[in-house]
């Protein structure tokens, strides 16, 4: 097998250039005689790594000066608790736009700390669309409004963001951050588990407006669950996931070399268009979600026949097209085409889909 294309939803493929660089530095990082994995997080060498990673991410996203960038642990799932612990402090209330599995988890966690209300939902149609954001009514006494910008399981995304009436907009961007240009100033807080577009599992990126960082976290909030703790320590309050941050830094530099997020967005839209154009003409395969809300990162589709779907996944794997099985709650197939997936991989997938349709459509 000459080439394997990994369509995993996460942990996902990393750029080959990044993996090659990491391999070359694995045993001896820039002549210091040992690996980054063995490096003290208090050393000058690691300080240079984390500071450079932060600066490159700030450049990539155009992060305003009044925002902090934090490298945390616990995955995006820990943010389901950390966000209300730190932001649900004035009214003890949060509004949610419910678009699936991950917003439900965040909503249920927020209920432990105050009142959480779903102000819009797409549950009525199995989360196959994004609710009309022009019609939502944000509560005047809410502390923040919460969304999941891209839904990895269902294959939907916000193509525009809601007007939240000067309330902080909090966004889980685990599966779409760095996939295209973004106006960070629209948000009070963005968080993203790294293992999609950013780097390996183990680190979570948080971008938070400075006025949301203060001593007013909910009473009893643990030190390790306060944003201020990590803001004041440059994400070094305790030992961070040093190697994961190092790899993230290499991904940031790769993106900058490749033309930044403007160019990356163009590439990702082209990749998604190749698959969706085929799905729109296919007699066998059908996309699962509303056309206007289709994700650029996670393409969900199926034949409508469970046995045929299983056959497709097995035969695709033999062709070097791996991890195409859909999430258990949705079924069918899912092709995750994050930044590291080359356009050649997407074309190879569509070529196989055409062949499979020719041989199996009755």
Please list the alpha-helical segments (H only) found in 169-259: 227-232, 242-257
Q: Does 215 have pLDDT greater than 80?
A: no
Q: What is the pLDDT of residue 1?
A: 56
280 tagged catalytic: no
* Assigned domain for 37 exists: yes
Q: Residue range 36-63: average pLDDT?
A: 97
Q: What pLDDT digit, counting tens, does each position of 221-260 carry?
A: 899 999 999 999 999 999 999 999 999 999 999 999 999 9
What single string gives the DSSP state of each residue in 109-127? Answer: HHTTTSEEEEEEE-GGGTT
Residue 4 in any domain: the answer is no
Asked whether residue 235 falls in the same domain as residue 270, the answer is no
The number of residues in the chain equals 362
Same domain, 345 and 247: no
| Integer Cα distance of 275 and 349 in angstroms | 8
Which of 172, 228, 254, 325 is an active site residue? Answer: 172
Looking at the fold, whether 236 and 293 belong to one and the same domain comes out as: no
277 and 139 inside one domain: no
* Count of domains forming the chain: 2
Pair 152, 212 in one domain? yes
233/91 same-domain check: yes
CATH of the domain at 248: 3.40.640.10
172 is annotated as an active-site residue: yes
Catalytic residue among 68, 102, 167, 250: 102
Q: Where does a domain end: 257, 276, 309?
A: 257
pLDDT of 176: 97
CA geometry: angle 347, 352, 358, nearest 5 deg: 130
Write out the residue range of the structural domain in which residue 298 sits. 260-360
Q: Are residues 128 and 241 in the same domain?
A: yes
Are residues 237 and 129 part of one domain?
A: yes
Co-location of 75 and 220 in the same domain: yes
Asked if residue 280 belongs to a domain, the reply is yes
pLDDT for residue 259: 97
273-293 pLDDT, tens per residue? Answer: 999 999 999 999 999 999 999
Out of 196, 228, 250, 271, which one is annotated catalytic? 196
Residues 317 and 352 reside in one and the same domain: yes
Same domain flag for 282 and 166: no
Q: Is 90 exposed, middle or buried (0-12, 13-18, 19+ CB in 10 A)?
A: exposed
Predicted model pTM: 0.96
Asked about 102 being catalytic, the answer comes back as: yes
Neighbours of 26 (CB within 10 A): 12
In a domain, 11, yes or no: no
Instruction: Say if CB 189 and CB 173 are below 8 A apart.
Output: no
Omega of the bond prior to 11 within 30 degrees of 0, cis? yes
Confidence of residue 183 (pLDDT cuts 50, 70, 90): very high
Q: Let me know whether 115 and 188 are in one domain.
A: yes
Query: By percentage, how much of the chain surpasses pLDDT 90?
Result: 94
Each residue's pLDDT tens digit, 100-147 = 999 999 999 999 999 999 999 999 999 999 999 998 999 999 999 999
């Amino acid at each position: 097998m000459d080439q394997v294309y990994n369509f995993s939803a996460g942990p996902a493929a990393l750029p080959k250039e990044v993996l090659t660089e990491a391999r070359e530095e694995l045993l001896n990082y820039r002549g210091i005689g040992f690996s980054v994995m063995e490096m003290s997080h208090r050393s000058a060498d690691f300080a240079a790594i984390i500071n450079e990673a932060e600066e490159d991410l700030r450049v990539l996203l155009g992060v305003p000066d009044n925002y902090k960038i934090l490298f945390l642990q616990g995955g995006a799932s820990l943010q389901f608790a950390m966000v209300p612990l730190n932001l649900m402090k004035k009214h003890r209330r949060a509004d949610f736009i419910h678009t699936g599995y991950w917003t439900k988890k965040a909503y249920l966690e927020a209920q432990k700390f105050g009142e959480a209300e779903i102000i819009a939902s797409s549950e009525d149609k199995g989360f196959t669309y994004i609710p009309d954001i022009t019609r939502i009514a944000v509560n005047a006494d809410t502390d923040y409004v919460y969304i999941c910008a891209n839904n990895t399981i269902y294959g939907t995304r916000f193509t525009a963001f809601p007007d939240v009436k000067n309330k902080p907009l909090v966004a889980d961007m685990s599966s779409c951050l760095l996939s295209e240009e973004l106006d960070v100033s629209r948000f009070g807080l963005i968080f993203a588990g790294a293992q999609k577009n950013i780097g390996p599992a183990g680190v979570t990126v948080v971008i938070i407006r400075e006025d949301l960082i203060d001593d007013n976290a909910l009473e009893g909030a643990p030190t390790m669950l306060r944003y201020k703790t990590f803001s004041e320590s440059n994400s070094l309050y305790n030992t961070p996931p040093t190697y994961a941050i190092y790899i993230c830094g290499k991904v940031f530099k790769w993106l900058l070399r490749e033309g930044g997020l403007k160019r990356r967005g163009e590439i990702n839209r082209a990749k998604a268009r190749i698959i969706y154009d085929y799905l729109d003409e296919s007699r066998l395969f059908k996309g699962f979600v509303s056309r206007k809300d289709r994700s650029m990162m996670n393409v969900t589709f199926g034949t409508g026949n469970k046995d045929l779907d299983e056959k497709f996944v097995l035969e695709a794997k033999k062709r070097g097209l791996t991890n195409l099985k859909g999430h258990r709650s949705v079924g069918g197939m899912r092709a995750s085409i994050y930044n590291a997936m080359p356009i050649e991989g997407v074309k190879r997938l569509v070529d196989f889909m055409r062949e499979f349709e020719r041989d199996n459509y009755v």
